[in-house]
Chains A and B, each alone.
Chain A
Amino acid sequence: MSTTTLERMPAAEPGAEAGPSYLTSEHTVTSWLFTRDHKRIALLFFASITFFFFIGGFAATLIRLNLATPEGLLQPAVYNRMFTMHGVIMVWFFLIPSIPTTFGNFFVPLMIGARDLAFPRLNLGSWYVFNLSGLVVLYSLVMGGADTGWTFYTPLSTSYANGYVFAAAMAVFINGFSSIMTSLNFIVTIHCMRAPGMTWMRLPLFVWGIYAVSVVMLTATPVLAMDTFLLAVERLMGIGLFDPNHGGDPLLWQHMFWFYSHPAVYIMILPAMGVVSEIIPCYARRPIFGYAGMTMALMAIAILSFFVWAHHMFVAGISVYAGVVFSLMTFFVAVPSAIKVFNWTVSLHKGRISFDAPMLYALSFVLLFTLGGVTGLMLATLGIDVDVHGTYFVVAHFHYIMVGATVSAFFGALHYWWPKLTGRLYPEIWARFAAILTYVGFNLTFFPQFILGYLGMPRRSYTYPAEWEPWNLLSSAGASILAVAYLLPLFYLGWSLFWGRKASANPWRATGLEWATSSPPPKHNFERTPTVTLAPYCYDPQRDTYVTQEGVPHAG
């Protein structure tokens, strides 16, 4: 793929299809709103989460604007509502559904050679439930927002906060059902609907990532539903569950909340790991290093993620011995993450590496995830957590993982699969520029927050001592760069929808089944059910050839 002068390029790559696709087979509004096609539902989800990404991003903009100066610009009440709504919307309405409901929905059936998900109506239902919860959270936001932080800590949330906490908590409650429906659908699909020859150890790592995340979602989400339900019971009826004045225990909330919300961090990162494991082999033109190890690491993270929740509570008054056990478990869960970083890095060895935008995003992911990971080790270390817990150190750490890494992977996936989603190629130069800008902007925004954290700046404060202004100003400046980097794709990808070159079936010369069908795919995905004969990622960097999973060899 050359990126020289766009004007002289032919309007279509050789082999670009002209037949009806899933996009053009039907045109009515109802054909979209009542579709049972996983690909269309993926695009519906894409529209919803993009909307919420920009709502959450707007709140983030106000937060950084406020923190640019020590005195701040916003009223304290407004600031408190902004960071709460930023957290709630970004976590439940963007990050958790982001990759699974869009790329997972679109590509899991395509990658395993199926015609749809196991339960197409459930899939559509999930989108409606998601939007219902979205309406509730928008109601909470428009009416004035909740003012508790996204963690809804009791008894602040049940007895003291006077924002729209109930509505926000109910939005989270309803949202959980969407998660459960989608994850159940993926699990059944991956178990039952793989094409002939698609054994477990031939599954692309993206499918493994979605499988792992589905197991976590299905198991953890009900606990959050119980927890938010109990919160509503206490807030509305005054039944003492969490408030000590009514005989409750504030830590009960935290245990149940983190029992979900720690695995939720892995819900956000596991699909991203899957995406990166697709992109790196394709652009390094060689098989991923240690495929079996990667699958085991994914599942190990999924399982171990359930035994680390109280590391959010080291200073919260749990027993010292519980703290020690949860610290040990946290170090254990870091081991498979470390294995994955090494495997991705070594997957570049003896490759034939090109630096197209998806690869730039994937390499950003590895670097940002590693920095988020090593600072996670610091937080897992009990003696250090006592100091930096509740400070900007934690804020920086989880943004590196959940935003730096996951959103980079999301944009990587968006560019990598853009030709398959839309049938068009994106403008490469703009995309590379956005990828690099994202990386620079992100680090400028969040690295200063590590320093602020160790200096002792508490989270969730609308004002701070003047001596911390330089770092905060730098962070806000970086955030403005990051905002541009996140907005850019909206324009050039939007442009490419109409004027981009038409893509061939397999523009990146990749091996997965999703590239075996036309771009964009026909309504029923494949003209005939593919038969799989090979593991994924059969690239040969020495001869620059590759063999698809169907066993079709291609020369350079």
Chain B
Amino acid sequence: MSRWIPFWPDTAAVNAVAVNNLYLAELGLSALIMATVVAMMLMFCIHYRKGSAVSRADRVQKTWHFEIGWTTATLVAFLVLFVWGASIYIWLYQTPRPDEEVYVVGKQWMWKIQHPGGQREIDALHVPVDKTIRVVMASEDVIHSFFIPAFRIKRDVVPGTLQTIWFKADKTGVFKLECTQFCGLQHATMKGEVDVLSGPDYARWLTAQGVHESLAQQGEVVFRAHGCSGCHDANSTVHAPSLAGVYGTYVHLQNGSVRLADEAYIRDCILNPRSFTVAGYPPVMPDFSGQLGEDDLMKLVAYIKSLGKQESGR
């Protein structure tokens, strides 16, 4: 740790650079507003203090043109900030095509992380530098908030939903990983480290974990253990929608709506199938809510996504 009193956080991702610039601009504007108010106040307070003999005649009587003036000025300045901030927000919360994905489960009081290769870690996240990483997040219990200060990214992990966020680190190093939503007794200790490694270091780290089953393969085990394969396998005689290639496509549902088959949709279908019956299929799938932990759900999602990849690979 640096021996200086810290004043500014690390800036270690493309996301952080964009937010930082905006922050600096607003800091400048805020300083300008504060300086104007303080300067005017000081000037008036000194010049027009009780003991001062200056003339107070000819006070401004009509005030409305001043007020319209500064109303318009602040409104214009605010709209500029609004547009700038909103564009960054939309950019932060819409994931570009990712190079890598990681799956994160928040639970009281740890971050559990699973890599597609099957590597698992707790309160630590190893990622390669200069790659777009998409983070798929779920919570086992209460609301947590996934926050990496050096990347300036944050998103609440609301139980019952899947949330995603992305980042592209541009510096190697170790950075803080935090939870910023109060989540119970040991909320303060729910934190970890993000290790940004160079490409070769990252590859070495992955192999050093000694994992032989990818996350999708682990998902396949869950898929068979819970009997999903009985209906959804290609060889099954039950009339159930095939899962091969379903990820990323649009699915027509019995109730007439159309849903994009993303991770959240797959998760919802497993937990609450009757609400997502696919058009042309009988509503016979049992619901698995309460039977699968978020870890296993992540594995299943990874497996079903991998089916899509195999399909397109053929």
Which A positions have Cβ atoms within 8 angstroms of B? 76-77, 80, 147-149, 153, 155-156, 159-161, 244-245, 249-251, 284, 286, 289-290, 292-293, 314-317, 320, 323-324, 327-328, 331-332, 334-335, 338-339, 341-343, 345-346, 348-355, 363, 366-367, 370-371, 374-375, 377-378, 380-387, 389-391, 451, 454-456, 458-468, 470-471, 541-542
Contact = CB atoms under 8 A, between A and B. Distances in A.
B259 to A, nearest CB: 15
B50 A354 contact: yes
B147 to A, nearest CB: 7
A387 B152 contact: yes
A416 to B, nearest CB: 17
Interface stretch (B6-14, B110-118, B223-231, B301-309): B6-14
Given A317-B155, A346-B66, A380-B81, 19 more contacts: A80-B187, A147-B185, A153-B143, A245-B160, A290-B64, A290-B67, A314-B89, A331-B78, A335-B74, A343-B67, A346-B40, A370-B33, A371-B34, A456-B9, A456-B149, A458-B180, A460-B187, A465-B176, A541-B56
Interface in B169-208: 176, 178-189
A522 to B, nearest CB: 33
A244 B75 CA distance: 41
Contacts, number: 270
A363 B86 contact: no
- For chain B, the bracket of interface size reads 35 or more
Contacts of B284: none
B98 to A, nearest CB: 18
Contact of B26 (A289, A331, A384): A384
Given A348-B48, A390-B154, A382 B184 contact: no
A377 B30 contact: yes
Contacts of B18: 383
A455 B149 contact: yes
Interface of B: 1-2, 5-9, 18-19, 22-23, 26-27, 29-30, 33-34, 37-38, 40-41, 44-45, 48-50, 55-57, 59-60, 63-64, 66-67, 70-71, 74-75, 78-79, 81-82, 84-90, 92-94, 108, 141-143, 145, 147, 149-150, 152-156, 158-161, 163, 176, 178-189, 290
Given A345-B44, A348-B45, A387 B23 contact: yes
A458 B94 contact: no
Contacts of A77: 185
B63 A293 contact: yes
10 A-B pairs with the lowest CB-CB distances in the bound complex, closest first: A244-B160, A456-B149, A383-B88, A390-B180, A382-B89, A381-B85, A461-B188, A348-B44, A374-B30, A541-B56
Contacts of A366: 37, 41
A349 B86 contact: no
A386 B89 contact: yes
A342 B48 CA distance: 17
Contact of A378 (B30, B70, B141, B147): B30
A317 B163 contact: yes
B56 A463 contact: no
19 contacts: A80-B184, A153-B142, A245-B290, A286-B56, A314-B89, A334-B74, A338-B71, A338-B74, A342-B37, A349-B44, A377-B30, A377-B81, A378-B30, A380-B82, A383-B84, A383-B85, A389-B180, A456-B150, A458-B188
